[in-house]
Amino acid sequence: MKRLSKRSGVDSFSRIYVENKALEYPRTKEILKKFKHPNIIEIDHYKNVFNRPRQNFVRQKAFQNLILAVKDDSFLYEGPDICESFGNDNFYYASAALNCIYDCHYCYLQGMYQSANIVIFVNLEDFFVEVDERLNKLDSMYLSISYDTDLLALEGLLGYSKDWINFTKDRENLTI
C-alpha cells in the first residue's frame, strides 16, 4: 500500500537544510519559493545532516525534513544486474533525489539510508552534462531517473520529471 508519511505534503517540511554552495542555484530559489515561511538552516555539507550517526529512520520518517544540496560527482551509475533493464542495453541510473515522501511498506528505501530526510540535488544540469558525455560514447542509453525516490511525487515541488522529459526530446537514443 502506498501511504504518505505522517506529516504529508511537500509544503510541510519543518526545516529546510541548504548547503552554502546550493544557496545561489536557481533551482534552490525556485524550490524555496514554494514555501510560505521556510525555516532555512544553512549547512556546509548535506552529509553532515543526512549521514549523521544514531538517527532513527522510523521516527524521522514521520517528521521528514528537506535538504537541498549540490552533488559534486558521480552523476550516473551503472544499473545493477539484479534490477530489471527490460532488455535494454546500457542501463544506468541517476539519483537527483534521495528518499521519498511516501512510506510504502514494501519499499527498499526504508532504512536504506541512515536518515529519512529527503535530499534534493539542485544541480540537475550537471546530471544532463554527464548523460550527454556518456551518450556520445554509446549507441543508446536506458536511464532510470527516479531510482532512489519517487520523482513524480515531488514534481509539484521540483519539476524534475518535466525537465528530464524535455531533455530527451532531441536525444532519440536516450530512453528514460
Residues that bind ligand SF4 (CB under 6 A): 2, 100, 102-104, 107, 109, 149-150
Between CA 69 and CA 175 the distance in angstroms is 26
Closest distance between ligand SF4 and the C-beta of residue 111, in Å? 12
Nearer to ligand SF4, 96 or 109 (CB): 109
Nearer to ligand SF4, 19 or 103 (CB): 103
Closest distance between ligand SF4 and the C-beta of residue 86, in Å? 18
How many CA atoms within 13 Å lie on the side-chain side of 31? Answer: 29
Between CA 126 and CA 4 the distance in angstroms is 30
Nearer to ligand SF4, 3 or 29 (CB): 3
- Strands across the sheet containing 118-121: 40-43, 16-19, 66-69, 118-121, 97-98
Closest distance between ligand SF4 and the C-beta of residue 129, in Å? 26
Closest distance between ligand SF4 and the C-beta of residue 138, in Å? 27
Closest distance between ligand SF4 and the C-beta of residue 139, in Å? 30
Nearer to ligand SF4, 36 or 108 (CB): 108
Nearer to ligand SF4, 104 or 129 (CB): 104
Neighbour-count burial of 175, counting CB atoms closer than 10 A to its CB (0-12 exposed, 13-18 middle, 19+ buried): middle
HEC string of 69-117 equals ECCCCCCCEECCCCCCCCCCCCEEECCCEECCCECCCCCCCCCCCCCCC
